[in-house]
Every structure is written in C-alpha cells, then in structure tokens.
Structure 1
Amino acid sequence: MGHVWNGVVVRRRMAIGATTAALLAVSACGGDSTQSGDDDQVTLRFSWWGNDDRARITEQAIDAFEAEHPNITVEGEPLDFEGYFDRLATSVAARDAPDVITLGGAYPREYGDRGALLDLSTVAEQLPTDGIDPAALSNGFFSDVQYSIPTGVNTYCVVLNPEVFEAAGVPLPDDTTWTWDDFVDIAQQISDNSPEGTFGAADPTSADTLDLYARQQTDSGLYTEDGGVALEPATAEAWWAMTTAMSASGATPPATITAELGGQPSPEQTLMGRGLAGMQFDWSNQLTALRTASGAPLELMRAPGESSGVAPGMWLQASQSYGIYSGSEHPEEAAMLIDFLVNSEEAASFILADRGLPANAEVLEAITPQLDEHTTAQAEFIAEIAGDVNPDLIIGPTGSTETRSIVMRLNDEVLFDRMPVEQAATSLVDQIEAAIG
C-alpha cells in the first residue's frame, strides 16, 4: 500500500491496533517478507518512528543501499512515535513483523526475551561489529546474545552553564577528578552567590542518576543480568540523604519547584534552559536544544565521582537500535541493510546525528565536519569519554519502564518531607521489584 510521507512515497502495510500484552503471542516462525518472481530478488521491510525529515533522510540512505544491492528492495514503514510500539506489538503477535525493526530503551530485551529478535551472531558475516564501541553494543546484549545494534549513541552527563559560574565567582570543576562532595559544595557556592531563583544545580534525582550513582558505589546499576533488582536500599538512602540536604540548604531548588518540573519537561522549561541553574544532569543530545533555549555557551562534563568510585557510572546509551525479526525470511539481507546503516560513511552522510552520534568511531570522525557546532561539541565529548565509560550496561527487564515514575513519586515524598529517606529507599526497591516481577 502506498503512503506519501513529506513527498516521499513510502511503502507500508497496515496493521490493527494493539496492546503490549499481544507480545505474549510471539512466535519465531513465520515472517512476511515478500519476494519477487526472480529468486535473486529480495524485498525487505524496515520500520522506524519519526517525523518527515527523518523519513526523508532515511529514504536517501535506503536509495544508496539499493544502488549498491540492485537485487534488494527496501520498503520503509515509518510511523509517529505515539503509535509505533503498539503497531509493532500487533505485527509481531501476528507473525507479520518487519525484517528490520527500530527499537529503543528496554524494548530490545523485552522482544529478545520473547523470541522475536534474531541472534545477530548468526549473521556476523553480513553484520560485523568490530568497529562499534563495545560499551554501545552492550545496550543490545543480554542473556549472552547480541539482539540489536545501536543506531547511534549519547550519554548521561552534567550540562554546565559557565555564565552562571562566572557571575557567581565560582571556578569550573575539573571533571576528571571531582567528587560528589565537590558537586554539593560547588552547587552551594553558586546558590549563595547568585540572585534569588538561580540555583547551583537542578535537583539531580532520576532513574538515570540513580543508575549511574549505584554503579559508582557498588559496580552494579539498577538491575541484575538475570532481570532482578541490583539496587541496594543503602545506596538509595545515601543518595536521598545527599539530595534532600541540598534542597534544604538551597543548593538545589525547593520541593515545590522540583515537583513542578517533574516528568520530562521540554528543554526551554528546565532551569538550565531558562538560565537559572549552574548544573543539570541531562542527556548529551539535549545540548543543542538547551543552548538554544538558554542562549548560553553550555558545556558537557563528566558526572562527579567517576574517578573516585569502585567503577565508572557513565555509559554510552543507544539512542535507538536495529534488530532483525526472528521470523524474517531474509536475515542475511536484513543484516546487510543494518551494516550499511551503522557502518557506512555514505549512509551516515545522509543520517548524520539524527539517530544519535555514530557508535562506529571511523564513521563518527568522517561525518563530524558536516555537523553544526552544537552537535560537534557532543561528538567531541563522546569521543573524549568513550574509553572511560562503564561497558557493563544492563538493560532493564520487562516492567522496568515503570522505574522512572516510581523514582519521581518517591522523590517528591522525601523532598516534601512526607517520608523518611530510609523508608523511601526501601520502598523504591520493593516497588521496582513488584514492577518487574
């Protein structure tokens, strides 16, 4: 069925609405890739989410791939993010999934655990991964199987406003050596020497900072390899003891402001985007939007505690990832398409950083001259820290997507002094266990 997407004809198949529960019906058999009358001709289906611009540049990369492989036709299946995973759940349950599937977050593990994704070691000849950063590859590796390949990467780090530091007379930290005590002290100095309403740091609590902090303290993040909870109540208790003290002293905002900013505010709504914070934890790929919103020359820095903990806490996060449907009739050709998308400088010349900065160092170096100054700053930061991040990322199991909201609810409880930090820490672990159970 033809579909026009921003002037590009995109071939798509229609699917009926779905629920996540439909995943339970997954079977590895079947698959609905089409093949022409000529046995040498192969048609692949490739699904992704995104806007018109993403569809346009993806189609350009597909055209380049088809030019190299005249016997392969790729049918693109783009969809808005809101409906993408419902559509995918339906197609997987109906054994009609695309050959190449774009995934994100915990979905590689969720679909891999249910048998919907191909073990990529079976197509290693067509999809070499030696050029991709091992820390980035770990995003799609679990149960001793590589189920997905990162489209690109970013990292969770500290965004810093040097203008706020300068106005407060506070020197910038050395992010190769600073500790959490340094972070607290610097935030306090900035707040003490800034106009009312400007803070040393936005409240740092999130599922991502807890994951990072836990790895530094115990060499384990939130989850275990077998899908359990690794976070210890004592670690969460120490974290909240630090952050509640910062809020009480004014180093970070009062509970009312933090609660108003709960969830995932747009960059222009954050304290950093409004020029009202010296430091804020965020994803490196938010730098462009935060710089634009604030009008300030914001910088990226390593998280505190990276050099003083038992292990690094930072990691390279797959912005998205590509997997192959286990029921695909053409797994080798699907692997060739993914190889082209992630390891080819030609494909990257169209896609650039739209799906994250390339995890292949040679590809990243090749496209860096084409990037704008903000994305170049992100690329330089990723290149700087790549050798120092923790390679042992464990993707959360099914149900772990609830962790983010659990953390935010309990954070409100402790900041508003409605729950002792000890009780909140125990409750956090209990609630995460219930969510993934």
Structure 2
Amino acid sequence: MKKPIKQIAFMCFILPLAISLAGCGANNGSNSNAAPSGSASSPDRTQTADAGNAGEKVALRFSWWGSENRHKALLAAIDAYEQKYPNITIEPEYSGFDGYYQKLVTQFSGGTAPDLTPLSVDWIDDIAVKGDLVLDLYTLREQLNLDAFDADFLNKYTVFGGKLVGLPMGVNGMVIAYNRDFFDRFGIPEDTKWDWETIHAIGKRVHEQDPNAYLLASLEVRGFLQPYVRQQTDKQWIEDDKTLGFDQDALTDALAYYKKLLDDGVLQPLAESSLYPDITQNVSWQKGDIGMSFGLASTLVALKSVHPSIDVAAYPIPANAKTSAVLVNPSNPLAISKASKHPEEAARFANWLLTDPEAALLLGDVYSVPPVESNAELLVQNDKIDPTVAKAVKLALDNPGDPVNGISGNQELADLATDYLQQVGFGQLAPEQAAQQLIGRLADKLKDIK
C-alpha cells in the first residue's frame, strides 16, 4: 500500500516551497512504490493497460469543463495520445462550468453521455451512486494501473458501495486565495490567522476605508454554509440516514453571520456579485477591489491569470470548532459512462492520461497536484507545478476535515440551500425565517430522494 496522501504532500508536492527543486529531485522516486505507466519497474501492468490500442479504429468522446489553460492542456494531451495510438480518435467536448452539470445530466438521461467525463465530487451521489450511470472501474483492472494511486485516498473519496466510480484527476483542497496587493493597500498582515470573526472585523474596516472595496466577493453553500455549520456540529450536512446534521439554531447562526457580512460591507452586494458566475469575470476583482476568495487549489491558476500576486492562506477555523471542516477531495474524478461502447479503450486512455509521465507534463497543474506520486515529483523537478497550488494543497492537507458524504453533495439539496442563502442576501427573508423554511424544504426533499 502506498503512503497516505498527506504524507506525500509533505514530501515532494510541497518541498519546493521550503527547499530548492534540485533538493526534491535528488530523492525522485526513492520512496515511491508505484512506477509510472511505461516505466521499467512496471512492464507487465503497462503492457496490459496499453494492449489492444493497435486494433480497430475507435472514436471516444471526452467531455470536460474548465478554464482556457485546462482546455489547451487537455487538447495537447489528446493530440499526443492520438499520435501514439493512430487508431484511437478522441473527440473533445469542452466548455466553461456554467450549465455543464445540467447538460451532462441531460446527456446521461438521453443516453448520449460522453464516454469519459470528470465529475465534480458534488455530482457523485446523483450520477454515480443513485444514478448508477458510470462504470465500476474495478471491473477494468486489466486496462488500469490502479497500483499507481494511493489506495487509501481512493477508498476514502472515490469508492462508494464497493465501486470505484472514478479516478482522481488531481488532489484538491479548500483555501483562502488572497490578493497581496490588496492586503498591502489596506495594511492586512499576510500571516493573519483567519477565523470568522477576523474576517468580519478586517472586512468591515476595509469597506469603511474604501466603500468600493470588499474583502470577499461572495460566499456559497459548499464553500461557506456547509463547512461553517459543520464546524459547530461535527456532523455531515445530511447524515447517511437522510436526517439533517444540524438544528435550526446552528443554521440560523450561519445565515445571520452571512447577513452581517453583507450589511457591514465585508461581502460585495449580491446584486453585483451575482452577475458573475466566475470571480475572474467580476469587474471589482479585476480592478483589485476585492481582497480574497474561498476556493479549491485547482482554481488558483485562473485567479493568478488576473492577479499574479495571488497567495493562499488556510481556510477559516474558529478556536472552538469541533472539526476543521476543511474540504479535501479528489479533483474531478474521471468516470466512464456505462453507455460507452468502448469501455476498455476508454479505460486505456484514462490510464495514460492519469499515470503516464508524458501526460503529466502536458497537463501540469490544471487539475491541481497530480494524484500519482511519481508524476507529482516529476512536475516538481520540471517546475510544472505552480508553487501557490502546491502550497494550497499542503495547507488543506495540514488540517483536513472528514470527507463529505454523497447525500450532502446532492445537487438538488444544494440548489435549495443556495436559494435561501440568496433570499437572505437580498433581504427577502430574515435568517430565522430562512433557517426554518430551509429545514422544512430539505426534510421534504429528502423524502423523495431514493
């Protein structure tokens, strides 16, 4: 069994932050039990994974969402694979995130889903568990080098009911991304230890100094509401028995805090922030009038494309928190549709994309830190991992919360919570009313979820 993912983070994922790249390179592979695809130490598995690609011509559809950097990297990887295996054609289908989930669900429902697609961890329950629409990758062991992945990490995050529903494109974690220029402008120390009260106090001061400036652009259900409540309860948002993991007092407290941030100018007004589904499109962010954002490590490259001075800090954790609730997850587990006519060929491509050193060099950090240790080390040596991304993953892995269970990531439940968060934000409901109504709506919806 390979080393736990947290230990890996302290070795070569993060070492460039503390020592030179050459220092990490000196230990390359010395502590790794899993050789990359194509290496001399794993010839049998690699030959098994690649076998059959020289046969009939096969076309596979590969769909994903993301930034322009991700699109370019994946297209380059597809081109390299097609040159390596001329009988395989990979048809790319890509877009931004907005509307992607709805499109994907429609495709799965209509039997037109792509052969391969990364899943958001929030969709696993709907698509992979309840929907049972993707293959159990354990059935494709002959085409996949599963030994290249940390078994504990897979078991914890992408195995449900004994089925491996996807292979992680990377390792991700929730952090604070902040604009160093903004912090310098308002005299905010970069070593600030953030908790919820510190955010309010500093954010209020910032807005008083400049009415056009806000510490935060927006807060969302999965990045704020769920972890805020979980820090109080140490329970899942929705328990496995489909009961709520919180009471009305805990939810009211979270919504009241959210309203206080808006009232005191810590948060940009919803009438402004809601115009931009992506913070990089937010005019105030582009102008440098927003100081920080909660996000996953994989979003940092896009944030830095607007402000190169972006750095990261640990997610807010109050001193009395029962758990950190810091989200650590597999970055977009790559799944294969049950409707695929070529599952073995799809698995071979997935195996190459996620385990081969050539693919790793092409993808870089567009899915955060690679899940295969040897490839992460390779990217460190070749300066292909943005040090800010590596730092972010380390920060999240330093104090991770327990994995979010499948039902807590249900999209319909998240949409309900989002609706009530917005009603509080727009002043349509008081926090107490919103908490009471949301609890009732969630309870009703849970009765319908099989």
User: TM-score higher than 0.5 here?
Assistant: yes
Structure 2 Cα separation of the partners of residues 151 and 184 of structure 1: 35
Structure 1 Cα separation of the partners of residues 152 and 127 of structure 2: 21
Counterpart position of 1:17: none
Please say if residues 273 and 291 of structure 1, whose CA atoms lie closer than 8 Å, have aligned partners that are also in contact: no
The code of the aligned residue for 1:225 comes to D
Counterpart position of 1:79: 93
Counterpart position of 1:338: 350
**Structure 2, unpaired ranges of 5+:** 1-51
Counterpart position of 1:59: 78
1:160-239 alignment runs, 5 A limit:
160-175=178-193, 178-192=194-208, 194-225=209-240, 229-239=244-254
1:276 maps onto 2:289 in alignment = yes
Q: CA deviation at 1:397?
A: 6.9
1:352 maps onto 2:359 in alignment = no
Q: CA deviation at 1:182?
A: 2.5
Structure 2 Cα separation of the partners of residues 170 and 87 of structure 1: 42
Q: CA deviation at 1:367?
A: 1.6
The code of the aligned residue for 2:322 comes to V
Q: CA deviation at 1:174?
A: 4.1
Structure 1 Cα separation of the partners of residues 399 and 226 of structure 2: 17
- Residues 93 and 275 of structure 1, relative CA distance in 2, 3 Å threshold: closer
The code of the aligned residue for 1:275 comes to G
1:119 maps onto 2:123 in alignment = no
What are the superposed Cα offsets for residues 284-317 of structure 1, whole Å, 9 maximum, x if unpaired?
3333333343x46121111111775222212234
Structure 1 Cα separation of the partners of residues 278 and 342 of structure 2: 42
Structure 1 Cα separation of the partners of residues 127 and 55 of structure 2: 29
The code of the aligned residue for 2:311 comes to E
Structure 2 Cα separation of the partners of residues 306 and 181 of structure 1: 8
Structure 1 Cα separation of the partners of residues 104 and 325 of structure 2: 35
The code of the aligned residue for 2:93 comes to L
**Structure 1, unpaired ranges of 5+:** 1-37, 68-72
Please say if residues 65 and 337 of structure 1, whose CA atoms lie closer than 8 Å, have aligned partners that are also in contact: no
Please say if residues 117 and 147 of structure 1, whose CA atoms lie closer than 8 Å, have aligned partners that are also in contact: yes
Structure 1 Cα separation of the partners of residues 186 and 114 of structure 2: 54
Please say if residues 109 and 396 of structure 1, whose CA atoms lie closer than 8 Å, have aligned partners that are also in contact: yes
Structure 2 Cα separation of the partners of residues 284 and 87 of structure 1: 24
What are the superposed Cα offsets for residues 112-153 of structure 1, whole Å, 9 maximum, x if unpaired?
223332223334463415634855764433334321111124
The code of the aligned residue for 1:422 comes to E
Select 1:431's aligned residue among 429, 434, 441.
441
Root-mean-square deviation (Å): 3.7
1:22-421 alignment runs, 5 A limit:
41=55, 43=58, 45-49=60-64, 53-54=72-73, 56-63=75-82, 66=85, 73-81=87-95, 86=103, 90=107, 94=111, 100-112=116-128, 113-124=130-141, 126-128=144-146, 131-132=149-150, 134=152, 138-175=156-193, 178-192=194-208, 194-225=209-240, 229-253=244-268, 257-262=269-274, 264-269=277-282, 271-293=284-306, 295=307, 297-305=309-317, 308-326=320-338, 334-370=346-382, 375-396=386-407, 400-421=410-431
Q: CA deviation at 1:244?
A: 1.8
The code of the aligned residue for 1:75 comes to T
Structure 1 Cα separation of the partners of residues 431 and 343 of structure 2: 50
Give the SS at the match of 1:223. coil
Tell me the matched-pair count: 385
Structure 1 Cα separation of the partners of residues 414 and 241 of structure 2: 20
Please say if residues 150 and 320 of structure 1, whose CA atoms lie closer than 8 Å, have aligned partners that are also in contact: yes
What are the superposed Cα offsets for residues 174-217 of structure 1, whole Å, 9 maximum, x if unpaired?
44xx432232223233334x322123333434342112223322
- Residues 39 and 412 of structure 1, relative CA distance in 2, 3 Å threshold: closer
Please say if residues 312 and 389 of structure 1, whose CA atoms lie closer than 8 Å, have aligned partners that are also in contact: yes
Please say if residues 138 and 394 of structure 1, whose CA atoms lie closer than 8 Å, have aligned partners that are also in contact: no
Structure 2 Cα separation of the partners of residues 432 and 371 of structure 1: 46
Structure 2 Cα separation of the partners of residues 240 and 83 of structure 1: 28
Please say if residues 214 and 235 of structure 1, whose CA atoms lie closer than 8 Å, have aligned partners that are also in contact: yes
Which of the two has greater helix per residue? Answer: 2
The code of the aligned residue for 1:280 comes to S
Q: CA deviation at 1:276?
A: 1.5
Please say if residues 104 and 320 of structure 1, whose CA atoms lie closer than 8 Å, have aligned partners that are also in contact: yes
Structure 2 Cα separation of the partners of residues 134 and 274 of structure 1: 43
What are the superposed Cα offsets for residues 270-289 of structure 1, whole Å, 9 maximum, x if unpaired?
64433113332233333333
Give the SS at the match of 2:239. coil
Please say if residues 134 and 391 of structure 1, whose CA atoms lie closer than 8 Å, have aligned partners that are also in contact: no
Structure 2 Cα separation of the partners of residues 114 and 78 of structure 1: 24
